[in-house]
Chain A
């Protein structure tokens, strides 16, 4: 860094192309030129005025130690802020952009910075995409500190570590990994850190960027990382030995490693009676398989394996199909694709227009198409059951996986019937089984089989019965109930 004040100011201004939000104020303290620099767009006016007032009221003993005196004075009179000394341009601009005010004194090649951040975040609101009926309502916001706070206030253990790295060449986004030191598996933490370091990209806009960059191999279509806006879910995960990734400017925190069974859990499961929770969990598994298999099964059964259907049902299928001009697969595809388009339209449109979409959708997909003889009523029923079963999952990743597998199974069924479904199902299971997230097998606890972990996987046992944490995430300190050894 330069020593002359003018040079410093000019340099900073030039590297930023004289952006309009750069503001510099000059003062004389004991005939020494002092400059205060901040970015109006991210700094808070009140805090700056306060800071200026306090620092100008300094009574300096000698001109020689002006820098140190000013630093001490600020440190002593403005207690609640971050005060730092910085001596290179890169750091200075990072701090300016983060809402800090920098003080330069002529003749010194370093600067004092002080936090004067403006509040650009919304306040903590109710969770919108993952609502629960009874349970904590707060949710993560775009402010990384607030997000860390929401976790920290739930886990007051000193072993809860937050480790920061900056990812993105230009955005320099803060990425914090949070875990409990004596629970989380050290190898997994190190592996994750290495992976984060390897990321080389210009900008991280959202935690989904990190998610995608961490799991580059997506052939199974199934999500491998949970991304959630619920602090209670993240807390549960961290307590179970998972690692949380909190990304600046993102209200969604990532949790990994994740297993397949995690997508069938909801925080709500732990706020209701164990029996109800087990029941709904099993229901979710059934719904998942209904969602991906039912249309395929219908196709197989009506074009290849009619022997499987009871006579009365088959006759009714046959009568309903009589006026339909297309082959079954086309008929089903027409309906599936128009359903997907409808769903996409519904997601992207503002809520105000939702009503018109559902009216058109219900009319076109239901009544009109059937009475026009384009599709048979039974197909409407089959696709509706499949669609409703798929709606039980609020993670868009799993919904997308369902729709891709649904169509794949349909194609297999229309080519090879039940045999096709069975073979594709075997491929599906093989795919699932071959996934590993940070060394954790995706199908745990089913494969490798661990009956102990079934208590809190397929079903949910009462809290006092779940004595251990999931053994597939970590091996040490696995006792939830009773003391850690």
Chain B
């Protein structure tokens, strides 16, 4: 009996550490960081706001955006919470949007705060706001998803799968390439098309043609924790090919002003770095997706010609990417990391010279093996009768 008495006593002793009711939390799904003068400006998107009530009394979630400023990220967050009636909860962040200015100057501060903060998970995506305020990105409503942050995260994911020139980077990937030897990070970017003020309104998502929307843009290259430059779409394709991040890639070749589009569906890239020389091998499979040149695809020679042209094009993408990286002296591909992993002793000798001397002068050898697997559902060009 005495033992049983312990149970109610234990109940009295506990303070229910970490106990929170769900409706006391402001579930934040997106964070944007801007720099205004000397202050950080934090914009958070809270997902569980109740403002969108359905006609039948059912409540549909919708987003609410709050801002706060402070000299440190911590202060900025505390400033934000002054205007929020709930506890800001950061476990379910989908995206972190960074302005160009932050990317150029104070990236480490943001990364440090989020890394140190115990609540955050490491699987949210990082994205740069190109030529716009990062905070505005989170405010643009969209008819396709409930929240702007969700929209952005899903857009990044799906474009990564279906196109060759963007690239999703989550917090783990980013910090990994930030702290690893011989590799520099890349981030995708997003921009606003249309009027930002119009995009804030609910009407924006009720129109069948939203006046304002978000569009994914080029990749941003970093040197260490500093943003250096943007890559064009073709350069971005090259970066993704070398980094083995291609799920689908459209290769467009021109022949006598006619275009042939080959879609790459499988691509396996590997590289080797030896004696200041890098050898890149690409094994790939593709299929013709669009053609307006009158070519006889029954002829294996024609196929071979297209194949060779495609290979040249892929090499061109790769070369463009490498040239861009060399020009900016940032090893975004991890060639140095390859040396570090395979020959740590050598890396210790050359690592100080790598970025400025060795990497820009690397000799590059590219080998592309392409197999055109299919011609689509029809063989030749569609012939219109006279």
Contact = CB atoms under 8 A, between A and B. Distances in A.
A315 B121 contact: no
Contacts of A315: 27, 29, 47-48, 61, 92
Interface in B22-51: 22-23, 25, 27, 29, 47-48, 50
A328 B29 contact: no
A414 B19 CA distance: 8
Nearest to A313: B92
A316 B61 contact: yes
Interface stretch (A47-55, A97-105, A269-277, A300-308): A300-308
Given A302-B22, A303-B19, A303-B20, A415 B57 contact: no
B16 interface: yes
Contacts of B60: 319
B21 A306 contact: no
B74 interface: no
B381 interface: no
Contacts of A312: 150
Contacts of A304: 18-20
Contacts of B19: 303-304, 414, 417
B89 interface: yes
Interface in A303-345: 303-304, 306-307, 311-312, 314-322, 324, 327-328
Greatest chain A CB density within 10 A among B11, B20, B61, B89 is at B61
A347 interface: no
Nearest to A301: B22
A415 B14 contact: yes
* Interface range, A side: 20 to 34
Contacts of B14: 415-416
Interface residues of B, number: 26
A311 B29 CA distance: 8
Greatest chain B CB density within 10 A among A303, A318, A416 is at A318
A415 B16 contact: yes
A19 interface: no
Given A306-B89, A415-B16, A311 B22 contact: no
B94 interface: yes
A314 B48 CA distance: 9
A314 B91 CA distance: 11
Nearest to A308: B91
A183 B161 CA distance: 65
B59 interface: yes
Contact of A321 (B18, B22, B29, B150): B22
Interface of A: 302-304, 306-307, 311-312, 314-322, 324, 327-328, 371, 414-417
Interface of B: 11, 14, 16, 18-23, 25, 27, 29, 47-48, 50, 57, 59-61, 89, 91-92, 94, 119, 121, 150
